[in-house]
Amino acid sequence: MGQITLSNVKKSFGNIDVLHGINLDINDGELVVFVGPSGCGKSTLLRAIAGLEKITSGEIAIDGKPVNDVTAADRGLAMVFQSYALYPHMSVRQNLAFGLENSKMPKAEIDERITEAARMLEIEPYLARRPGQLSGGQRQRVAIGRAIVRRPVAFLLDEPLSNLDAELRVSTRAELAALHARLSSTMIYVTHDQVEAMTLADRIVVLRAGKIEQVGTPLELYNTPANRFVAGFIGAPH
């Protein structure tokens, strides 16, 4: 569960080519970080995997099954955005329950999942509050909680910490790493921050202008960058 294969994935918006043929194998349970400068196509690639963006050509497969024609809701993935995207008029509990109620899950099961996620993320005291009554860090936990309760085969996180201040970003990053260890589910984590990439990733995928420059462990990229771009981006001397 949670193995994702990208084969020659291309995406154009009109006559602008954004992804130029991405090939990548993501293993079950792996934490893969997509890193690269703003505009290089990280979000587009993540949204394509999520099923929120239709690809122009190529194939995306989850656990060996092609999903090009499978809707976002049926891919079994959960996405976390930097903007949280919480419903402001609903309580935290209602925000967590929302997607599950739509799937007609029994109430007892929904409550159990919410309790478990809330405990894991230490947001139990805030379940009755509305998002507007929470800090940025608490809101981001709720957004992550909303993904956890769905028990997805993979988590897709698009710059989830970029709205937090520097200190909170460091602590939340550590919590995400702990969460990944605990859930042992596949995570794809998008960032333009090389420190985040180096500290979180099992493997880093360096993107530049819609192409993969290099894939490797943080140590591999640091020690043997494929080119000056990777070296410059990862911060090794060059």
Give contact residues for Mg ion (rule: CB under 5 A). Answer: 43
Q: How far apart are CB 55 and ligand ADP at their closest, in Å?
A: 13
Check if the beta carbon of residue 152 is closer than 8 Å to that of residue 76.
yes
Q: Of these, 1, 8, 13, 174, which contacts ligand ADP (CB under 6 A)?
A: 13
The least distance separating ligand ADP from the CB of residue 228, rounded to whole angstroms, comes to: 20
Whole-angstrom Cα distance, residue 11 to residue 56? 5
How many chain residues are in contact with ligand ADP, going by CB under 6 A?
A: 10
Sign of CA dihedral 50, 201, 213, 231: positive
Distances (CA, A) of 198 to 53, 87, 180: 28, 33, 15
> Under rule CB under 6 A, which residues in 34-93 are in contact with ligand ADP?
36, 38-44
Residue nearest to Mg ion (CB): 43
Among 4, 6, 9, 18, contact with ligand ADP (rule: CB under 6 A): 18
Q: How far is the CB of 33 from ligand ADP (least distance, A)?
A: 13
Q: Which long-range contacts (CB under 8 A, 24 or more apart) does 196-201 make?
A: 196/33, 196/161, 196/169, 197/33, 197/35, 197/234, 198/222, 198/234, 198/235, 199/173, 200/31, 200/33, 200/173, 200/176, 201/31, 201/32, 201/33
Give the residue with the Cβ less far from ligand ADP, 49 or 78: 49
For residue 133, the minimal CB distance to ligand ADP (Å) is 30
The nearer residue to Mg ion, 53 or 213, going by C-beta atoms, is 53
Binding site for ligand ADP (CB under 6 A): 13, 18, 36, 38-44
